[in-house]
Amino acid sequence: MSKRTHPLVPRIVAFLVLLMLVAGIFQMLTPAYLSSENIHALLRHMAVQGLAALGLTFVIVVRQFDLSFPGVASLGAMTLGWLIAGRYGVGLGVLGALAVGLACGLVNGIAVAWMRLPDIVATIATGGLAVGLSYFYSNGTSISKNFFMSGILDLNDAKYLGIDAPVAILLAAALLAGIVLHFSRFGRAFYATGENRTSAVFSGIRVRLYVCAAFAICGALSCLAITLLVASSGAANVTAGNQLLMPAYAAVYLGAALFGAASVPATVAGTLLMSAMLNGFTLLAVPYFYSDAIVSIVLISAIALFDPRIEEAFRRFRDSGKPALREARS
296: in domain = no
Q: How far is 92 from 97, CA to CA, in rounded Å?
A: 9
Strand partners, 160: 163
Domain that holds residue 138: 30-238
What are the tens digits of pLDDT across the range 129-163? 999 999 999 888 899 888 888 888 888 888 888 88
Q: What is the pLDDT, as a whole number, of residue 180?
A: 93
Number of domains in the chain: 1
Tell me how many degrees the CA angle 102-219-160 measures, rounded to the nearest 5.
95
What's residue 33's pLDDT?
Answer: 92
Q: Quote the CA–CA distance of 56 and 119 in Å, as a whole number.
A: 13
- The answer to the question of residue 109 being in a domain is yes
Asked if residue 300 belongs to a domain, the reply is no
Does residue 318 form part of some domain? Answer: no
- pTM for the complete prediction? 0.88
Q: What per-residue confidence (pLDDT) applies to 287?
A: 82
Query: What confidence score (pLDDT) does residue 1 get?
Result: 43
Q: How far is it, in rounded angstroms, from Cα 17 to Cα 273? A: 11
* Ordered mean pLDDT values, 10 residues apiece, the chain (330 residues): 67 88 92 91 92 95 94 95 91 95 96 94 95 90 86 85 91 95 91 90 92 96 95 90 88 87 92 91 83 74 63 63 52
pLDDT of the residue at 325: 46
Q: Are 62 and 192 in contact (CB under 8 A)?
A: no
Residue 168, domain member (yes or no): yes
d(CA 240, CA 232): 12
The type of residue at 118 is: P
Residue 217, pLDDT score = 96
Half-sphere exposure of 215 (CA within 13 A, CB side): 30
CB contact at 8 A, 262 and 57: yes
pLDDT given at position 290: 77
Paired with 159 in beta bridges are 164
129 lies in a domain? Answer: yes
**What pLDDT sits at residue 307?**
60
Q: Is residue 250 a contact partner of residue 56, using CB atoms and an 8 Å limit?
A: no
Q: Is residue 9 part of a domain?
A: no
Q: First CA to last CA across the chain, in angstroms?
A: 24
d(CA 120, CA 114): 15
Query: By the 8 A CB rule, do 280 and 26 touch?
Result: yes
Per DSSP, which regions of the chain are E strands? Answer: 159-160, 163-164
Q: Would you say residue 259 lies in a domain?
A: no
